Amino acid sequence: MTPRLEDLGPCFQGVVPAMVATCALDGEPNITYLSQVYYVDPKHVALSRQFFNKTQRNVAENPYATVLLWDPVTFDMYRLLLRFDHSETDGPLFDTMSLRIEVIASHTGMAGIFKLVSADVYEVLSIESVDGFLTPPDPALDALPPPSVDAVPISEVRGLQAISGRISRATHLEELLDVALLALDETFGFSHSMVLLPDDSGQRLVTVASRGYGEHGVGAEVTIGDGIIGTVAVRQRMVRVAGMDESLRYGRAIRHRAEESGQGCPAPEIPLPGLCDAQAHLALPLCVGRRLVGVLGVESRDPLCFDEWDEAYLQIIGNQIALGIDRMQAFDDADDSPSLSRPPQRREASPVRTRRSFVYYRNDDCVFMDGEYLVRNIPGKILWRVLVQHERTGQSEFTNRELRLDPTLGLPAVKDNLESRLILLRRRLEEKCPDVRLVPVRRGRFALELGCDVALTEKDSAGA
Amino acid sequence: MIWKDTAAFVESGVSILVGTRTAQLMPEAVRGCGASVLAGGEELLVFIPEATGAATIANIEDNGRIAVTFCRPFDHRSLQFKGKVVEVRRGTAADRAVVENYRCAFAQELAVVGVPGRISLRMATWPAYAVRLRVATAFDQTPGPGAGARYGAARDAGPGQVAPGSPGTAGAP
């Protein structure tokens, strides 16, 4: 039976590079690897063109190309006979292919050098399975089980219902993000995920919730425009990258060439946030209208973990999370709300209290605890204000409203993301200094709980 | 001309792609399964599995035009040689040792990038055709700004020199 293009999905994920043969009008053949073959529709594929090369010169003269695709799951090989149709240099197809290239370029410090020149669309004239490419399975070699790619959960609507319900019941931002990531894990097995929100500067995204990275995910920063997450934030489009190893190797090969040819690579290579051995990434912008309120990132060690279904599904969840974030930020000031989201957890004072030394550096709004960096910027200023106020007046409950009205904190007049900054601060304290807790007592109000004595020192700068 | 350092690369377990074309200029692609550098670097012997190579061999018998690309999966270092086939024959027992060595070396290269041996060792390699070609041109195909440039142009002053390195191949054997 002739295979159908639409059934070759795994071949288009870039896990194993494809090969393309073309022929010049003078009869000279050419064969090379391709960085990306993209499924367009049941009759068309698009090949990525990053550099003008022999393949493009050949199809300009003689429009036929033969592409070998290797299925990364079954390892069957398929031969596609193609005829060049047209090139696209803008539009949705170009944007989608370009984004993937940009992500790889950004990860290898090649932004602006390794970029999509055009998406070359070819008509698929024939598809055939390359019979005999693999010999029959050998029991001796086949001792290991084949990779499983099952994956679409049977009751996705039920799963959506469950997640949607949890998100809409959340009473504050921290709970919303926690339940959303928990539900993604429990219901659909997205076990490594994170949500990043824009910081004060608008130049960076800060991880405020994560799942699957132990306690170390929160606080990680990504410069907007860098890497997968940063690129998604700029372009406000979802991106899915599979076969990360393969794609990064390809990007690095180009980086080496560019360095040697003197084109330079100003940006250092950016380490991937999250799993050090992630093979697949899916990141999507969390937008309300055209405004970016955050980025949801999901990772897996399985290069084929994410497919079109995951894209569609996460887009729905992402929209709900985005609206939830916006809702929380709009209403977290409602001090009079009777809902008690989390009762204060007062611990018995331990008989021997430790003493923590906090230092605030005025020049960069940075707080160190016992000589170790704790938090900076607005979360740092908030912590300092709370600690100082407590020391001076004994005040132990604080409202979001009073923080907003305090000009020394420098919160913007609108969309100040105060709640996300409090989450970041709370998480950093949980991780680095569990003796100091900021416990929500009701919406828009939190209590300072100290399990230690504190010493506060203010300095102009680290050298002062 | 295939230089000594390049020959080591060609004869290692790197990926081999073979391109040919029909009389009507329709391109064809197939994976090779081993290669040797012959005649002091003037010729290349490439093995093509009988299981998948019928169309390629028909093309070669028609017009002899061929392109062979060698690519190391780990870092995409790639070289392409083009020329005219001077002989096609069925592989001999001696050839089989070359092909078998290649099969194992290629499986190791693929293991580095995550393709398991239970798959890579199942690729059909034998019986194979032995295709001997005279190398006319060589191109550096490593992806990047210089992809497709003539390879080793700076060395064309004469054979026997030790090349001081070439574009895109720093650190290569």
pLDDT per residue over A387-414, tens digit each? Answer: 999 999 989 899 888 888 888 887 776 6
Complex confidence, ipTM:
0.85
Asked whether the beta carbons of B159 and B40 are under 8 A apart, the reply is yes
Ranges of residues in chain A whose predicted pLDDT is under 70: 1, 13-16, 52, 104-114, 140-158, 214-217, 243-277, 330-352, 413-416, 462-464
Cβ–Cβ of B29/A138 closer than 8 Å? no
The pLDDT of residue A256: 65
Neighboring chain B residues of A33 at a CB cutoff of 8 Å? 17, 69, 71, 76, 78, 141, 143
Q: Give the integer Cα–Cα distance in Å for A398 and A342.
A: 15
Q: What is the four-CA torsion angle of A155, A156, A157, A160, rounded to 10 degrees?
A: 130
Q: Give the integer Cα–Cα distance in Å for A358 and A440.
A: 22
Looking at CA atoms only, how far is residue B157 from chain A in angstroms? 22
DSSP string, A114-178: S---EEEEEEEEEEEE-TTSBPPP-TTGGGSPPPP-----TTHHHHHHHHHHHHHH--SHHHHHH
With CA atoms as reference, the chain A residue closest to B24 would be: A27
Specify whether the backbone of B123 is left (phi greater than 0), alpha (psi in -120 to 50) or beta: beta
- Return the ∠ at Cα A313 (arms to A308 and A316), rounded to 5°: 130
At A424 the three-state DSSP class reads: helix
Cβ–Cβ of A21/B28 closer than 8 Å? yes
Tokens standing for B25? 């200029």
The pLDDT of residue B114: 64
The pLDDT of residue A144: 46
Q: What is the pLDDT of residues B61-112, one digit of tens each?
A: 999 999 999 988 767 788 899 999 999 999 999 999 999 989 888 887 777 6
The pLDDT of residue A105: 63
* Mean pLDDT, residues B30-36: 93
Q: To probe the interface with B, which of A13, A16, A20, A32 has the most B CB atoms within 10 Å? A: A32
Neighboring chain A residues of B68 at a CB cutoff of 8 Å? 31
The pLDDT of residue A58: 94
Q: For residue A450, with 0-12 CB atoms within 10 Å meaning exposed, 13-18 middle and 19 or more buried, which class applies?
A: middle
Which is it for the CA torsion A224, A225, A231, A234, positive or negative?
positive
Which of A331, A326, A324 has the alpha carbon at shortest distance from A168? Answer: A324
Q: What is the pLDDT of residues A409-450, one digit of tens each?
A: 877 766 667 888 888 888 888 888 888 998 888 778 889 998
Q: For residue A125, with 0-12 CB atoms within 10 Å meaning exposed, 13-18 middle and 19 or more buried, which class applies?
A: middle
The pLDDT of residue A258: 64
Distance of CA A204 to the CA centre of its chain: 13
According to DSSP, the residues that pair with B107 across neighbouring strands are none
Neighboring chain B residues of A61 at a CB cutoff of 8 Å? none
Cβ–Cβ of B25/A25 closer than 8 Å? yes
Asked whether the beta carbons of B99 and B128 are under 8 A apart, the reply is yes
Cβ–Cβ of A134/B123 closer than 8 Å? yes
Q: Give the integer Cα–Cα distance in Å for B7 and B18.
A: 17
- Any A CB within 8 A of B114 CB: yes
Cβ–Cβ of B78/A53 closer than 8 Å? no
* Mean pLDDT, residues B138-164: 55
Q: What is the pLDDT of residues B134-145, one digit of tens each?
A: 999 888 877 666
Cβ–Cβ of B147/A19 closer than 8 Å? no
Q: Give the integer Cα–Cα distance in Å for B63 and A144.
A: 45
Instruction: Scan residues 14-33 of B and list those with Cβ closer than 8 Å to A.
Output: 17-21, 25-31
